[in-house]
Amino acid sequence: MQEAITTSPERSPSTDEVDPIDPAIRIRDLDFLYGSNQVIHNVSLDIFPKEVMAFIGPSGCGKSTLLRCLNRMNDLVDGARIGKGSIEIHGVDVHDKSVDVIELRKKVGMVFQKSNPFPKSIYQNVAYGLQIQGVKSKRVVDQKVEESLRKAALWEEVKDRLNENAYGLSGGQQQRLCIARTLAVEPEIILMDEPCSALDPVATGRVEELILELKHEYTIVVVTHNMQQAGRISDRTAFFYLGKLIECDRTKKIFLNPSKQQTEDYISGKFG
């Protein structure tokens, strides 16, 4: 934990201070509802470029919902809507009518809780995002597939069996394949929804290493149940409880010296 924090740049101030860097994601006064059931209450939060932000909190606290708001995956849920407030990515309100949701999702990639490769070959999985964008050139696709698999630290393991079905990979490999698939689309921001919750400790370790590697290039938002994980990989941590943002600060501070009692109770395991 100690090591993770020292390796990250110490440039992220707490939200209360005036910030000299433009945030990659700016959430302001956000209310979010499923029908009449409000699940996010008045959340304001900034996420800065090339940092790893961890969302923690007990189940049902709205952290996954907030994450899915960022690339509008909640659009698919009947009755899901924004009550008030806004989410801006590089200054553009993502819920504005003029925003092309397809372009948004290319910019804001997502990795899911359970690895979900397509029932296709390894190669086809990574190439998918390019192919739907209409990239025809085999050379470009080949190159991009290799590059993405290398970035996801999977290339050496799969380079000899790119045409085999992705379901033949182990769980950890599948999750890294999903990350490679996301990278191939060249996003700026990667959202990860509990990416290691279905993995064994060794596979988890490899994905965490990968996240630390990727943050040099990408802004990463991770939802996690595992507080040690948040400590190991994130620069800053936001703690949610019952749909409200309780506290957001540098990870070291949250874990060692939280300013709210609820945060301390949760971290010390009094509830959750």
Partner 1 sequence: MNSSQRKENWIKIFFASNAVTSIIILGLITLFLFKEGIEFFGQYRNDLQRYRKSGMEYANVVTKQHDDLTLLYRYLENILSQETAALETLTTDDASRTSAEKHTKQMLELTRDFQNTKELLLIYEKKVVKWAAETKLFLLTQSDMIDVKEEALKQGLPLEDFPETVAQLEERTFFTHKELIRWQNYFIRHQREDLAKRINPIVGTESGTKEAGQITSLTPLIQASAKQQYAEILSKQKIKLSSLLNRYNPNFILPESDKDFTKVKTALTEYLSTVPLYEQRLSEWNPAEPYPLHRAFSGFLLGKDWVTNSARQDWYGVLPLLSGSLLVSMIALALAIPFGVGSAIYVNQVATAREQSIIKPCIEFISAIPSVLIGFFGIAVLGGMVSFVADERLNSLTAGFLLALMTVPTIFTLAEDSLNNVPRALRDASLSLGANRWQTCARVIFPSAITGIISAVLLGFGRVIGETMVVLLCAGNRIAIPDFTSGLGVFAQPVHTMTGIIAQEMGEVEFGSIHYRALFMVGIALFLIALLVNFLSQTIAGRYKANY
Residues that bind partner 1 (CB under 8 A): 71, 73, 76, 78, 102-103, 105-106, 109-110, 112, 114, 116-120, 128-129, 131-133, 167, 178, 181-182, 185
Confirm if 185 and 106 have CB atoms less than 8 A apart: yes
Smallest distance, partner 1 to C-beta of residue 210, A: 18
**Nearest approach, Cβ of residue 159 and partner 1 (Å):** 22
Secondary structure string (H, E, C) spanning 152-197: CCCHHHHCCCCCCEHHHCCHHHHHHHHHHHHHHCCCCEEEEECCCC
Select 18 or 76, whichever has its Cβ closest to partner 1.
76
Q: Minimum distance between the CB of residue 126 and partner 1, rounded to whole angstroms?
A: 10
Within 8 A by CB and 6+ apart from 12, the residues are 48, 51, 235, 236, 250
Distance in angstroms between the alpha carbons of the first and the last residue of the chain: 21
User: Nearest approach, Cβ of 258 to partner 1 (angstroms)?
Assistant: 32
Minimal CA–CA distance to 190: which of 211, 215, 217, 220? 220
- Closer to partner 1 by CB, 145 or 246: give it: 145
Closest CB to partner 1 among 105 and 253?
Answer: 105
Residue 165 Cβ vs partner 1, minimum distance, rounded to whole Å: 9
Instruction: Report the residue number, 120 or 225, with the smaller CB distance to partner 1.
Output: 120
Residue 78's CB is within 10 A of a number of other CB atoms, namely 6
What is the distance between the alpha carbons of residues 239 and 61, in angstroms, rounded to a whole number? 9
Q: Kindly tell me which of 129 and 172 has the beta carbon lying closer to partner 1.
A: 129
Distance CA 46, CA 111 (A): 21
